[in-house]
Structure 1
């Protein structure tokens, strides 16, 4: 056994033949968990991102709201200032002012989702051993599925009864986006301040702007609700779904019918949010929960960035039809092809994440069987193959993980590009999500590969020889 072992593993075999390791943390784990090196260009880069993200969101909103998704720009350098004032700022003041209605709706949903996260029934699952907590495993109440279905039921009743028409959501998109942006900054500041005040900081660089962006604390909680997991699962994806659903309902109320592309986007977003909720018990073993701190990067993007930028395909199609009087449609073969791309991507995404995280849960001793809809075949590998490392961890080489090292990322990108393709090729904005997400995943892969190489050494080299391709077999 390695001298670096702080908490020796208690090895057992679970019913699937995967070794069970209990609270194994090494000095190398602690070292890697405490390493600080600047990402995203350091303090200057993160400041540019914190300023640039909201500005970009407003710019894209103006392009969608007033220019049918066409990217606009000043005609000359001398026109930059008046262009910014007239084309951007004045439109924001009129169409994206944080009204009382928007504040009540957005913050009402934030509070509603938190109450459900605190009170709804669900299994309690242990996360991975936390190096900064001497190998302690935190417990997570995974009630996302029950909360999701209750949310769907409540929204259906409110819409049908007229208490709250879901079509109002898209009518006030700009206002809601501003409230979400403000809340993203506010929550980031509060979580950071509480972390500093309580002394529960982790992996701090000493630079205020960088630490604010990356976060001060690893696992902030209110009661038994983990704020990081709540913000990542309960807020962005349901809001995204309701934005797209609002566009679909608006199309139906205005024209008395819905188109296949509009149905496609609602289906795509439903599948994504439903996958997150039904597999929530797998989230505690993920990279975001185990390693990433809860700072502006995660908080702002979950509260505002994800729902109010990933929805551009839905809004573009709705605005296009309202402006031109013509709905975006495609030939039957093209439509079937894009639906097939979405569903194949979803299958790989769902089963790939399930295979990986259930394998981790089996090692962690937190594996449970759930029958949440839909349970897809090959989501759990029986008697998987793996590489056993000197560190003690197992590197999965079965299922999709024997085909590529990041098959779930490939599947994610398949779905992302389908969201754009269903809108046609007349605007860049429906493709923003794919382009942005591609950059995010490539950066994340580089971080992950570097960390794994340090952690596993020669065992990582063996793994890379066994599974040589990252995204696509025989391509990359």
Structure 2
């Protein structure tokens, strides 16, 4: 009986303790100052982190008044994604001022890729939704292109910052009113040119490739080709973003419909016709398109050879230009290809003081990078075969664009450099293909 009584007491204690533990576990105790306290911590601690970093970064570690507006302005202008700050060419309308460009596109691209694949993997955002909703997304992009064109134009005119206006509304809307539109330190032109079109284009192909894999259990060589082609392009733009600030688009072109619409809608939703054709072909025929191996190898070879010329030619010219403007920096973003930077290249010095590169690829043809760009463009069409003319819209349209751009550039250079340009044309007589044209 004694032991039995003890067991009963233990049983009661356990029951009592169990209820006590349950009550204790359910009790809400406000810590850290309760709801108001934790709210203050959630917002206050990140603010403190920025404040401390700002003091270290901009004031040699000295504590500055938290009410100092200049401190928060400096912090606000320093963005999170790392990347070099590169100066553009001297802008005549700004009395020769060289604008700063934060070139963190490479980091941003891979952060975007990692985030998007995590979202896809956990089912929060299926990447296949892109190809499944191509039409609606394209519609939004087109509307966005028009809307942003009008907004940028109106805001620029209201601020009195319009530049090089013709007086004809539709022409000025097309060409743009703003030369260097910015939100803080974000240059809208370089953002629109690098961060939007090629990223969307790449994701369209990635979406189609994943969809093909889900439907058939594999991704075809043709669809893998499109993913590779668009990856090479978007990666090249991101890794070489520091070269963009000294280009003609940044220095001269205004931010109007031509650049806005083309980058928001034109590039991603017309340059992707080959991908859309391959995707729809697989749906209609119950499987991906199949080519003879030699044809597939030919397309891959044309793409990679064209890419090598295009990448290294652009690198040679832009690195040469950056070095002459005192803004050259060494980057180790992948891939840095052989012959991408010239040592002691030949050039012509004009009476204006400008240097025209005649070494490397630029001693072979004046627009060799356009030739390489066209090689890649036609490879995008060739990989689809010849069942439809639509995948060839991009390369054929690109021919027209480049011919116009070259004629425009030649006219401008002839006017600017005069006899120096004539000397250059004699030294480098061919425009696109050495020995041909």
Match of 1:4 in 2: none
Question: For the Cα contact (< 8 Å) 1:117–1:225, is it kept in 2?
Answer: no
Secondary structure of the equivalent of 1:125?
Answer: strand
- In structure 2, which of residues 121, 124, 129 is the aligned counterpart of residue 168 of structure 1? 129
Work out whether 1:268 is the aligned partner of 2:212: no
Are 2:274 and 2:380, in contact at CA under 8 Å, matched by a contact in 1? yes
1:12-39 alpha-carbon deviations (Å, 9 max, x no partner):
xxxxxxxxxxxxxxxxxxxxxxxxxxxx
CA contact (8 A) 2:311 2:340 kept: yes
Tell me the SS of whatever aligns to 1:395.
strand
Residue 223, structure 1, aligned to residue 181, structure 2 = no
The residue number in structure 2 matching 1:233 is 194
TM-score by length of 2: 0.82
Offset of residue 118 of structure 1: 5.0
What TM-score, normalized to structure 1? 0.75
Distance in structure 1 (CA, Å) of the matches to 2:159 and 2:431 = 41
Please name the residue that 1:134 is paired with: 95
For residues 419 and 117 of structure 1, what CA distance do their matches in structure 2 show? Answer: 39
Q: Is the 8 A contact 1:247 1:318 kept in 2?
A: yes
Say which of 196, 200, 204 aligns to 2:161: 200
Partner of 1:380: 341
What is the Cα deviation at residue 117 of structure 1?
A: 11
Q: In the aligned structure 1, how far is the partner of 2:334 from the partner of 2:165?
A: 41
* Structure 1 match to 2:150: 189
Q: Indicate the structure (1 or 2) with the bigger Cα radius of gyration.
A: 2
Deviations 1:288-346 (A, max 9, x none): 11110000000001001111111010110110110121421111111111100000000
Partner of 2:13: none
Q: What is the CA–CA distance in structure 1 between the aligned matches of 2:232 and 2:287, rounded to whole Å? A: 27
* 2:238 is the alignment partner of 1:277: yes
Structure 1 position 116, deviation (Å): 13
Select the residue among 373, 379, 400 that pairs with 1:418: 379
Aligned mates of 1:451, 1:119 — CA distance in 2: 39
Specify every segment of 5 or more residues in structure 1 that has no aligned partner in the other structure, as ranges.
1-114
**Partner Cα distance (2:379, 2:173) in 1:** 34
Tell me which of 187, 209, 212 is aligned to 1:251: 212
1:399 aligns with 2:360: yes
**Partner of residue 448, structure 1:** 409
SS of residue paired to 1:439: helix
Q: Which residue of 1 aligns with 2:283?
A: 322
Does the CA contact (< 8 Å) of 2:101 and 2:185 recur in 1?
yes
Correspondences of 1:9-88 after superposition (within 5 Å): none
Show the counterpart of 1:23. none
1:439 to 378, 382, 400: 400
Which segments of 5 or more consecutive residues in structure 2 lack a partner in the other structure?
Answer: 1-75
- How big is each residue's C-alpha offset from its partner over 1:70-102, in whole Å with a ceiling of 9 and x where there is no partner? xxxxxxxxxxxxxxxxxxxxxxxxxxxxxxxxx
Change (3 A) 1:231 1:118: farther
Runs of 4+ residues over 6 Å off in structure 1: none
2:118 to 153, 157, 162: 157
Q: CA RMSD in A?
A: 1.3
